[in-house]
Amino acid sequence: MKKIQLQLGVALATLMTTGYGSANAQSLVNPSGVRQSTPIENLTAQGRTLEQLWQEASELQGIGKYREAIAIFDQIVKLKSDSFLAWYSRGNCFKGLGQYEAALTSYDAALKIKPKSILAIFEKGKALYQLKRYEAAIASWQETLSLQTTSDYEETLVKTIIPKQIAQVLVEDLKRYDEALIYYDKLVKIDTKSAGVWIDRSRVLYQIGRYQDAIASCDKAIEIESRNAVAWKWRGMALYRLNRYEEAISAWEKSASFNPNDIEVSTLLALVKTSGESTSEIRTTQERLASLQGEIRTTETKLVSLRTESQRLTAELASSQTEVRQSQQELVTIRGNIKTAQAQLESSQVEVRKSQERLVAIREEIKTAQVELQSLKTEQKTVEEKLIALRSEIEVSQKRLEASQVEVRQSQQRLVTIQGEIKTAEVEVESLKKERINLEQKLVVVRRDMETSQSRLEASQTEVRKSQERLVAIQAEIKTAEAKIVSLQTERKTLEGQMVSLRTEIETSQKRIETSRREQETFQKRITALQGEIRTSEEKLSASQTEFRQLEERKEVEARELRTIQVQYCGLQEDLSEMEVAIRQLRGVQQGSNTVQRCPLSRNE
């Protein structure tokens, strides 16, 4: 790929050494003799500056240096104030620092540029939630439900993730169970294969006293996942509220058989079997356990959200990879067109043996460039295969996360494994981004060289008309052009005797030069379009990198929250053990051990 610039340089040198550019022609193009800077060159220089800023900001954001990244994003928005991605990324950095008010300001600026961006509205709602502005957060999320989606991930956000988020805030923070139930009723119709949605719905029904409906929702969840311990546990809770004790115990026993490590279920079974007729004490304990279960469910929901974000990032990486592959295919086409244009320029110098030799050299370089391009394609496919393998590994990790919702310690270890895989993906994405930046810079150089070639060709056509009149038409295809060159070599030896037929060839040559000029203009437009597509791909990769970093942070937060829940569990287990010993002492029953069971993770730790 590095030889594209060399190919055009050889072609331009050929024009200059064979008399296609003269002092008179240069005077006509620029009478003052002073080189003039074109607007295109200025834009190119500015583009390189922005690229460097983008790369530096993305790297800083990727390693968690948010303050430094914000300073770079400030420079970018000064140069390009209408950059949606710059404002959006700036907001994410502020959110990473916990400065949610500043994050809101950046998200609002991004939404002024793209007011219907679902991602920006979603992140804005999350910032509002962190500021405990729950009503505003819900209003922000509800705004996305009426917007048109443009990707599979946005559709997943609007249909499932955001409604779940709204329902969760209504339940956990605002205690507005009736409103939350409306969202869960819609979710069970959309996400029909999710046992978790049915379980969440049963919890809401349980809170508002609709125990029979809660049992029905648990039954739906059990139909989907017959070994779901959480569904059996909440079914037992609702049955117990209806005084159907035997059925409740049976449900809890099934839950314990599927998940023996569930301390809550084990404690409930122990209390039911040892307390006898003391149902009021059990209900009090159950209420305390239900409150703690709400916190656990919130954590599980966040873990599911993490898994969904990981899937979305994987999909965006695959989409970006596809766009890169399409861009490379278009680049191959453009290079073929450039090769044809070079062959036409060089064929105009049929009278000079040196120009023919240079034409052969250029063709050899083109073949070498094609070999290098093929090698690059192979490397690109290898990268794509690695990303596919990484996506498979992430999917396996997601399944492990679902299992680890009830196995807290095992969940922490698997989250660390997924974090390492995500860091590996970030390194591969960064490498791919650098390759794209190099490709865009080379395309800019090709574009500038083509414009220079076109200008010099027009000048040489005006000044040296007799030389252009000897231009012999060649076919557009490379094989036909080579055959013509061989024929022209023979004609060169007998050129003095064919002056009469030369006039007809001159007219044909002029037409083909005009055709070549139009083709070059078309090539220039294609290169411009390709630059825009590569820029878009880069912005998507930058957003993907940002989301990867956020995913890593959320996993760390979830790990800390799960640790806190473990401590709360152990503390509750000690309380229940103390209660059990006290009940036995009050009744005067010596059954088992009267020693309070202590937990190594108790709240005193």
Residue with tokens 């949610």: 100
Q: Is 35 exposed, middle or buried (0-12, 13-18, 19+ CB in 10 A)?
A: exposed
Residue 602's nearest CA partner among 569, 553, 576 is 569
Start-to-end Cα distance in the chain: 62
Fold type of domain 45-144 = 1.25.40
For residue 496, what is the DSSP state?
G
Taking residues 164-184, report their average pLDDT: 94
Q: What is the CA 207 to chain-centroid distance, rounded?
A: 38
Among 77-91, 238-252, 321-335, 413-427, the minimum mean pLDDT is found in: 321-335
Residue 286's nearest CA partner among 253, 238, 338 is 238
pLDDT of residue 414: 64
74: left (phi over 0), alpha (psi -120 to 50) or beta: alpha
A 10 A CB-CB count for 160 gives 18
Annotate 280-341 with DSSP letters as a single string: HHHHHHHHHHHHHHHHHHHHHHHHHHHHHHHHHHHHHHHHHHHHHHHHHHHHHHHHHHHHHH
Among 100-104, 121-125, 573-577, the minimum mean pLDDT is found in: 573-577
**Gap between the Cα atoms of 394 and 426, Å rounded:** 13
Taking residues 361-382, report their average pLDDT: 70
**Gap between the Cα atoms of 167 and 201, Å rounded:** 10
Residue bearing the bigger pLDDT, 358 or 550: 550
- Residue 494 has φ and ψ, to the nearest 5°, of -110, 25
Taking residues 129-138, report their average pLDDT: 96
| Structure-token pair, residue 415 | 């989250």
Among 8-12, 213-217, 282-286, 573-577, the minimum mean pLDDT is found in: 8-12
A 10 A CB-CB count for 504 gives 9
Angle at 444 between CA 443 and CA 445, to 5 degrees: 90
SS3 for 198?
Answer: helix
Taking residues 233-258, report their average pLDDT: 94
SS3 for 347?
Answer: helix
Residue 89, pLDDT above cutoff 60: yes
Residue 436's nearest CA partner among 390, 386, 383 is 383
Residue 12, pLDDT above cutoff 50: no
Q: Residue 146 — very low, low, confident or very high, per pLDDT cuts 50/70/90?
A: very high
pLDDT of residue 351: 58
Taking residues 207-229, report their average pLDDT: 95
Q: Greatest CA separation found in the chain?
A: 132
Q: What is the mean pLDDT of the chain?
A: 73
Q: What is the CA 600 to chain-centroid distance, rounded?
A: 42
Q: Where are the domains of the chain?
A: 45-144, 261-469+503-587+595-605
Taking residues 365-372, report their average pLDDT: 70
Among 235-239, 471-475, 489-493, 551-555, the minimum mean pLDDT is found in: 471-475
Residue 308, pLDDT above cutoff 60: no
Taking residues 490-513, report their average pLDDT: 71
Residue 263, pLDDT above cutoff 70: yes
Taking residues 261-288, report their average pLDDT: 70
Which 3-state string (H, E, C) describes 532-584?
HHHHHHHHHHHHHHHHHHHHHHHHHHHHHHHHHHHHHHHHHHHHHHHHHHHHH
- Count the residues in the chain: 605
Angle at 312 between CA 311 and CA 318, to 5 degrees: 90
| Structure-token pair, residue 96 | 């990473």
| Residues near 121 by beta carbon (within 8 Å), at least 6 away in sequence | 111, 140, 141, 143, 144, 147
SS3 for 373?
Answer: helix
**Gap between the Cα atoms of 423 and 539, Å rounded:** 19
pLDDT of residue 369: 66
SS3 for 195?
Answer: helix
Q: Residue 22 — very low, low, confident or very high, per pLDDT cuts 50/70/90?
A: very low
Residue bearing the bigger pLDDT, 174 or 600: 174
**Gap between the Cα atoms of 61 and 77, Å rounded:** 16
Taking residues 208-218, report their average pLDDT: 96
**Gap between the Cα atoms of 512 and 407, Å rounded:** 75
Residue with tokens 């390492």: 420
Taking residues 309-329, report their average pLDDT: 50
AA identity, residue 577: S
Q: Residue 409 — very low, low, confident or very high, per pLDDT cuts 50/70/90?
A: low
Among 130-134, 157-161, 563-567, the minimum mean pLDDT is found in: 563-567
**Gap between the Cα atoms of 27 and 457, Å rounded:** 15
Q: Residue 3 — very low, low, confident or very high, per pLDDT cuts 50/70/90?
A: very low
pLDDT of residue 264: 87
pLDDT of residue 235: 95
Residue 91, pLDDT above cutoff 70: yes
- Residue 132 has φ and ψ, to the nearest 5°, of 60, 25
For residue 31, what is the DSSP state?
T
Residue with tokens 């090709």: 446
pLDDT of residue 13: 35
SS3 for 179?
Answer: helix
| Structure-token pair, residue 383 | 């990268």
